[in-house]
Amino acid sequence: MNLKSKRIKLKLMVKICPRCGYPNDDSFSYCQRCGYNLKRRSLSENEKNLLRGFRSFSIINLVSLIYLSVTLGLAYLLDKGVFFNDFYSFLGFLGAVAVGTILLFISVMKLRKGYSSVMRDNLKYKIPYLGTTIFIISFLFIIVFSVFFLSTSVMGLFIPSSTIPFATLSVMGLFVIGSTLSLFLGIFRAYEEFNDKVFLLSSSGFIVSTVMSCVAPFYPILLIPLWLVYLISVTLLYAASDFNLSLNREN
């Protein structure tokens, strides 16, 4: 065997990392320097759209979380009498909550668009797509019930005591089903497809926050841990989706 053929054979036995340029043994699955997946395939355009949907959902959710946190903080001060506790202050608070709800609604629409795109290649995302539909219905219910209760209060109409628990349970049930299917199941599917454990951590965080949201009305002390778990889950989802998109750009 001449020197040229030896060089060719040696080159075939080495796998160059496309991310950092480090020469790895051909049997390695991950780069020994940066951890890049050497067996990673290029993403289809629909898979990229899914990751973009995750990323948009995360960004808008982070904005809405901060916004709603400030709003709830002001509501707490309002309840303590720091601000004038009058009808216009109450309307202002409802308006602020409405803006936060609209932001959450837009974020779910971004998520829905991502699932809709990737469903053309992978029907596993059909159920998470259905979950976003249920999620959207729960938001619409919140808006309808809020307008109904506000209008009846302004007009001084009597509301049957059984209406409030029924409305609350209806919205909560839709929210739990929609959240479980669209966030936990959908992001878990992404973990299976992209083999990224950050997606697994994010999906686990979302299911924990969903369970906590069901218990929090009875134990208000859980509201702060609930907020933190959801915030971490959203941040992890953004990190995982942005990281996988950036890796694909480097291929």
Percent of the chain with pLDDT over 90: 27
Question: With 80 as the cut, is the pLDDT of residue 42 above it?
Answer: no
Give the model's confidence band at 132: pLDDT under 50 very low, under 70 low, under 90 confident, else very high: very high
Say whether both 25 and 109 belong to one domain: no
Beta-bridge partners for 23? 16
**What pLDDT does residue 84 have?**
47
Cα(108)–Cα(176) distance, rounded to whole angstroms?
14
230 and 149 co-located in one domain = yes
Query: What would the pLDDT profile of 98-130 be if each residue is shown by its tens digit?
Result: 777 788 889 999 999 999 999 888 888 999 999
Both 31 and 83 in a single domain? no
| Nearest partner of 202 among 71, 69, 104, 61, judged by Cα | 61
What amino acid is encoded at 179 in this protein? S
* 87 and 35 share one domain: no
Residue 241 counted as domain residue: yes
Residue 70: per-residue pLDDT = 77
Both 31 and 53 in one domain: the answer is: no
Separation CA 188–CA 200 (nearest Å): 6
Q: Encoding tokens for residue 232?
A: 């971490």
| Span 176-202, average pLDDT | 89
Identify the three-state secondary structure at position 158.
Answer: coil
CA dist 69 and 81 (Å) reads: 19
Q: In the predicted model, what is the mean pLDDT of residues 174-183? A: 88
Q: Which two tokens stand for residue 75?
A: 């509501």
Q: Residues 142-165: what's their mean pLDDT?
A: 62
Question: Does a structural domain hold residue 79?
Answer: yes
Domain membership flag for residue 214: yes
Q: Residue 247 above 60 pLDDT?
A: yes
pLDDT of residue 59: 95
Whether 110 and 24 map to the same domain: the answer is: no
Q: Domain check: are 99 and 117 in the same one? A: yes
Half-sphere exposure in the Cβ direction for 16 (13 Å, CA): 6
Tens digits of residue pLDDT in 57-102 = 999 999 888 887 777 776 666 655 545 455 666 666 667 777 777 8
Helix ranges restricted to H, 2-125: 3-12, 45-79, 87-118
Q: How far apart are CA 138 and CA 178, in angstroms?
A: 8
Residue 178 and residue 87 share a domain: yes
Look up residue 14 and give its DSSP letter.
Answer: E
What's the confidence (pLDDT) of residue 9?
47
What's the CA angle centered on 126, arms 121 and 130, to 5 degrees?
150
Residue 1 domain-assigned (yes or no): no
Q: How many domains does the chain have?
A: 2
Residues near 30 by beta carbon (within 8 Å), at least 6 away in sequence: 36, 37, 38
The residue that leads in pLDDT, 226 or 20, is 226
Q: Are residues 239 and 131 in the same domain?
A: yes
Regarding predicted confidence, which is higher, 186 or 84? 186
The two tokens of residue 225 are 């841990």
Instruction: Note whether 119 and 134 are same-domain residues.
Output: yes
Q: 50 with 27, same domain?
A: no
34 and 52 together in one domain: no
Q: What is the pTM of this model?
A: 0.75
Q: Return the minimum-mean-pLDDT range out of 6-10, 163-167, 231-235.
A: 6-10
| DSSP string across 15-43 | EE-TTT--EEETT-SB-TTT--BTTPPPP
Residue 2 lies in a domain: no
Q: Which domain holds residue 33?
A: 9-39
Task: Specify the range with the lowest mean pLDDT, choosing from 3-7, 22-26, 32-36.
Answer: 3-7
